Chain A
Amino acid sequence: MGLSTSVLLTIALAPLFGSLVAGFVSPFLGRAGRAVAHSVTIACMIVSVALSFQVLYQLTLGGAENYNQNIYTWFQVGQVNASIGFMVDRLTAMMLVVVGFVSLVVHLYTIGYMRDDSGYTRFFSYISLFTFSMFMLVMSNNFLQLFFGWEAVGLVSYLLIGFWYKRPTAIFANLKAFLVNRVGDFGFLLGIAAVLTFLHTLDYASAFSAAPGLAGQVLQITANMQWDAATVICILLFVGAMGKSAQVPLHVWLPDSMEGPTPISALIHAATMVTAGIFMVARMSPLFEMSSTALSFVLVIGATTALFTGLIGIVQNDIKRVIAYSTLSQLGYMTVALGVSMYSGAVFHLMTHAFFKALLFLGAGSVIIAMHHEQDMRYMGGLRKYMPITWITMWIGSLALVAGPFTSGFYSKDAIIEAVGLSHRWGANYAYFCVMAGVLVTGLYTFRQMYLTFHGKERFTVVAAHGDDHETASSDVVYDVHVSADSHEDEHHSGGQPGVLHHPPKESPWVVTVPLILLAIPSLLIGYVTVGPMLFGNWFGGAIHVNEANDVLAELGQEFHGAAAMALHGFTQLPFVLVVVAFVICTYIYVFNPALADRIKRALKPLWTVLDRKYWVDEVEYALFASGGQKMGRLFWKFSDAGVIDGVAVNGSVRLIHRSAALMRRLQTGYLYHYAFAMIIGVIVLFGGYRLFGN
């Protein structure tokens, strides 16, 4: 039994339908429009998710064949065909379920989080449009549609980061995100062009089957320089992944993307869109396996990202930014896994990370609601007794993030670390150091965040609000804040002092806590359940291709004796020790000796500054590209366009004509003797010339 085209089309198009209704119908329905927007989009999402689960079921237990068909021809020029079509195998099905599930949960959560926002229906329209785009990306069977989905998710990300378009920081961040992503897409599109040049097709299946033919092919760069075709293709494609999955040095847009509302930080900038790069490389595994040079490149970039962005997370005070840097670091882990040819490990970490990182973001959102849109952790503390559900679920997410044994994060991350240890690829030693040190770093920023937020003394004060009607007051505050804050650390909420609340924090409503619980369950359990088949059971089948010589996972699999044994073994390993060390350090500093944190900060001032300034990467890139570009533009415009072309050539020739006309006028003096004189000179010159140069 095969998968049906109409089911797949429904999965993709239902969110688009929801988006169109929320975007184009709701605004004309007045108050009812809000209910229409959320009910229609959520109903569509439920349909999509249910069908996604069915597809996954059919492909795993139902014994269905992989699906690979074109839906319609986008263009056909000669033999070059570009189509819209679906390729659905287990890799795609897993992505569909993860994306759909997290998206559904976020839709639900949004009802609570965006309740008082004037852009309520617009927000639903955007997140459904995003889901459609992401589905198109993961279901694609060719490079054209991949690029379509790739850019479409970028567009929605742009719209959502700038959702509160009145805030200067938000519209700066969304422009930055789009442009940095475009730098990645620059490489990506060149990579696609290279694929067409060398493999003569845009279709995945044909490209992959032609991939072995890449061996020995070269690209002529200059007369005496040749580059290996497979390496060029893979590095170019990976540059695209570096943009979308925020790898160093194209990572700068992701922390700034926190300007967007929290639900989309969870959905787009943690769970799904940013992992598109990882998914893409895994999908392209038959190509990447052709070039170990490219994979080494991937490995080194990933390792650098994993460690160095994590370090920045330690010094952040904004609760969302800590998680953002954590996301960068975890994306680095996935990239490292790709770099050692452990594609299924990368995708496995992608899946577990999607659940626990979405959980952490939504938990942070719940805290932010409770704190009336204060995001600075220096004004939090002791929140655990006000919001127990948020507190417990966030601990679950944190434990998964630091890879505590038995949690889902443990299975995916620990496997990556061990696989890197086994790999002999160039750069693997460096990567092993980075991912190992990264474990300590992850522990430090995660526990620090949990302590600062939920434990210790309360660092905020509650001043009773004026007016009696509690509910009204509260919703006013939330509304104001949505328009103006949710923000940078130096920009505080409506009129209030930092850390001053009008009424005590309280647990969020059920539309917020239920999604947290829904995400906490897979954060805990999904790894335990799926590690066997996904990592070691060849679950992905033909979707992922690894050359035998590179297959570190198979080597690792020989020592795998079930999920429980793996977790127990984990207790004896270095990563676990590092996590415990981090826990002890944080517990001591933030629970027993809070003054120590400042002392350490002062003692390590230079290091702290380096991290706080994020290695000055933003400044350097801004100076080089943004300011540099403008300077170059001004130079071109003022100097060559207005100066040389218009000033000298165009207006100059006008002046020339003017002057020569004036000269001519002077020649025509009207005096006969002038003309006669000129004639005599002319005759002399003519005859003289004839004598000299004639014969």
Chain B
Amino acid sequence: MFTHLLSLLIWLPIVGAVPVLLAGSARPMLARWLALLITIATFVISLWLLRYDPNGSVMQLQETHVWIATWGVHFTLAVDGISVALILMTTFVGILVIGGAWKVIQNRPHQYMACMLLLEGLLIGVFCATDALVFYAFFEAVLIPMYILIGMWGGPRRVYATLKLFIYTFTGSVFMLIALLYLYQKAHTFDLATLAALPLTFKEQAWLFFGFLIAFAIKVPMVPVHTWLPDAHVEAPTGGSVWLAAVMLKIGTYGMVRFILPITPDAGAHFAWIVIVLSLVAIIYIGYVALVQEDMKKLVAYSSVAHMGFVTLGIFMAFMLVREGGNTEMASLGMQGAMVQMISHGFVSGAMFTCIGVMYDRTHTRQIKDYGGVINMMPWFGFFYVLFAMANCGLPGTSGFVGEFMVILASFSASPWIALFATFTLIIGAGYTLWLVKRVLWGPVTTEHVRHMTPMTARETWVLIGFAVAVLAIGMWPQPLVHLMDSSVAHLVQQLAVHKI
């Protein structure tokens, strides 16, 4: 089992989608239970990843299968600490997404559940791939179930949203594909480790850097290529939103870590300021945009963009710290912060979207003005909502704090100006999140929508408890997570210190 653990994790949900699909619309409960069992099984199996030894070699649990023999492409999989953390998050969120969508999806639930499983398997594949072409295949394939999810179970403007999502991200991918093809004709392999060691001139690196950057920046998404995200979120069903926010955005930043840092370290160092500036713009500018949103989902979508700004900031600040000051210590701290922020944002944004889903299922509106005084009707929901809102504005004790704290601490060493702008999130983040809470949760019941809300069901409560446990556990004691990723982060920082020219 251990020799093929990663394959198992990828293919179990993907193959498992077949029987779920076969259950048919006539037996929705069977489809649901099957899907739940498969996600639980995937999660349980993924726990074996914790055997990853942070003190051992960086890449572990390696598997190689010949894929396209004539091109020398191998289906190679392996994980480091960062992948393990992301996969565990994915499998955990997978259960909660199935649980959250249980009875909500009435229209062809078997297809919906199958889609979810397919998505889960593909996302795990992204995090395991150590061959660039395999990565690319999974990276692109993820779009298909997401496209179907929004297109079939989405809101009224789903056609616009799906097209925008698809064309936006596909445009980016074209640049990545060109970059990969260039690398292939130089190295005659897609093996990431070989590509990392490939000597490249600065000019080559610069072209490759921007090729990769465009592809991944769209996925993250970074300003100014973020506008597909709010539209996609608004039209997506709750489960789609949760996948999108919790895991799909992470494959953008994960790609940066896997491609830009090792392959183009010199160009990365040279152009890091661009990404840093865009990250700070994301934190502040998007914060302001989030403040005035009238649709809850859009608000949280924008807040996702702002939070992902911390991830890109942490990653690229490391270049600045290492290359200019030789400060690997702070570079590691910032990078570690970025990684923790990825995991944390998965849970926090997933929870926020789930909360919105819980309300939406009762009222069928996402407009903030249709709410007010929800706590009067749903007191326990209020507890969770405040908890996740606090995590969203980075309150210590919740996971939202940990990554931001590390990135801000490190940023001061890079430049007090970066720290100044990054720390601004403390105010603006609290502003848009708590103003949302004020308008939705607190106050007297003023609208008919709210008057008819019913308390949470047991299923909804368990899903939110699942998120809450993750958010609080990381917030109270991040060391296990940090330790898991520590050696991998140190390895990354070493990689970006390498001069290739």
A residues adjacent to B (C-beta < 8 A): 72-80, 144, 147-148, 151-152, 155, 158-159, 162, 165-166, 168, 171-172, 175, 178-179, 182-183, 185-186, 189-190, 192-194, 196-197, 219, 221, 232, 629-630, 632-634, 636-637, 640-641, 645-646, 649-650
Given A165-B375, A645-B227: A80 touches B288 (CB 8 Å cut-off):
no
Say whether, besides A179-B430, A219-B416, A76 and B227 are in contact (CB < 8 Å).
no
Chain B minimum-CB-distance residue to A80 = B333
B291/A175 in contact, CB under 8 A: no
A221 and B416 within 8 A (CB): yes
Closest chain A residue to B291, Cβ basis: A633
* Distance in Å: Cβ of B223 to nearest Cβ of chain A: 8
Distance in Å: Cβ of A155 to nearest Cβ of chain B: 6
In chain B, what residue has the closest Cβ to A626?
A: B431
What would 21 A/B residue contacts be, using CB atoms closer than 8 Å?
A75-B479, A76-B483, A76-B486, A77-B482, A77-B489, A80-B329, A144-B396, A147-B405, A155-B390, A162-B442, A165-B441, A182-B426, A182-B427, A183-B427, A189-B426, A190-B423, A194-B416, A196-B412, A636-B285, A636-B288, A641-B227
Q: Does B315 count as interface, using CB distance less than 8 angstroms?
A: no
Evaluate whether A151 and B395 lie within 8 angstroms (CB atoms) in the complex, with A77-B406, A78-B329 already known: yes
Count of A-B contacts judged by CB separation below 8 Å: 143
Q: How far is the CB of B315 from chain A (nearest CB, A)?
A: 15
Q: Which residue of A lies closest to B445 (CB)?
A: A166
Alpha-carbon distance between A179 and B434 when the two chains are bound, in angstroms? 9
Q: Is the CB of A75 within 8 A of B227?
A: no
Min Cβ gap B159→A in Å is 13
| Neighbour of B438 across the interface among A171, A197, A219, A632, CB < 8 A | A171
Alpha-carbon distance A357/B493, docked complex (angstroms): 54
Which residues of B line the A interface, CB within 8 A?
A: 164, 168, 224, 227, 285, 288-293, 328-330, 332-333, 336, 373, 375-376, 386, 390, 395-397, 401-402, 405-406, 408-409, 411-413, 416, 419-420, 423-424, 426-428, 430-431, 434-435, 438, 441-444, 477-479, 482-483, 486, 489-490
Distance of A136 Cα from B390 Cα, bound (Å): 19
Contact A637 B289 (CB under 8 A): yes
**A485 → B minimal CB distance (Å):** 14
Give the residues in chain B near A221, CB-CB below 8 Å. 416
Inside 8 A of A76's CB, which chain B residues have their CB? Answer: 479, 482-483, 486
Bound-complex Cα distance A632 to B405 (A): 26
Q: Which of A78, A175, A192, A641 has a CB less than 8 Å from the CB of B409?
A: A192
Which of these, A147, A193, A634, contacts B411 with CB under 8 Å? Answer: A193
Q: Are B479 and A73 closer than 8 Å at their CB atoms?
A: yes
Flag if A645 contacts B224 (CB, 8 Å). yes
**B478 and A633 within 8 A (CB):** no
Chain B residues in 8 Å Cβ range of A640: 285
Cα of A158 to Cα of B328 in the assembled complex, Å: 39
In the complex, the answer to whether A175 meets B434 with C-beta atoms within 8 Å is yes
Contacts A76-B482, A171-B443 given; indicate if A193 touches B402 (C-beta within 8 A).
Answer: no
Distance A630 CA – B412 CA, assembled complex (angstroms) = 29
Chain A residues with CB under 8 Å of B431's CB are 179, 182, 629
Complexed CA–CA distance, A202 and B329 (Å):
14
Given A178-B434, A196-B413, A641-B227, 20 new contacts (CB under 8 A): A72-B479, A74-B477, A75-B479, A77-B406, A77-B486, A78-B490, A79-B329, A144-B396, A147-B396, A155-B390, A165-B375, A166-B376, A175-B438, A178-B430, A182-B426, A182-B430, A182-B431, A183-B427, A196-B412, A636-B289
CA distance A183 to B428 in the complex (A): 9
Q: Which residues from chain B contact A168 at a C-beta distance below 8 Å?
A: 443
If A632-B288, A636-B285 touch, whether A175 touches B435 (CB-CB below 8 Å) is yes
Kindly list chain A residues whose C-beta atoms are within 8 Å of the C-beta of B424. 186
Residues of the B chain whose Cβ atoms lie less than 8 Å from the Cβ of A166: 373, 376, 442-444
A190 and B420 contact, CB distance less than 8 A: yes
Q: Specify the chain B residue showing the minimal Cβ separation from A83.
A: B479
> Which residues of the partner chain A approach B288 to less than 8 Å between Cβ atoms?
629, 632-633, 636-637
Chain A residue numbers with a CB within 8 Å of B397 are: 148, 151-152
**Nearest 4 Cβ contacts at the A-B interface:** A193-B412, A633-B292, A633-B288, A148-B396
Instruction: Kindly report which residue of chain B lies nearest to residue A641, judged by CB atoms.
Output: B289
Asked whether B292 lies within 8 Å of A637 as measured between CB atoms, the reply is: yes
Contact of A165 with B443 in the complex, beta carbons under 8 Å:
yes
Contacting residue for B292 out of A73, A196, A219, A630, CB 8 A: A630
Q: Do B289 and A189 touch (CB < 8 A)?
A: no
Minimum C-beta distance from A432 to chain B (A): 35
Give the docked Cα–Cα distance between A628 and B411 (Å).
28
Closest to B428 in A: A629
Shortest distance from the beta carbon of A25 to any chain B beta carbon, whole Å: 14
Bound Cα distance A76, B431 (Å): 31
List A contacts of B376 (CB < 8 A): 166
- A75: B residues at CB distance < 8 A: 336, 402, 406, 478-479, 482
Give the distance to chain B from A124, nearest Cβ to Cβ, in Å.
16
Interface-centre pick from A75, A168, A172 (highest chain B CB count, 10 A): A75
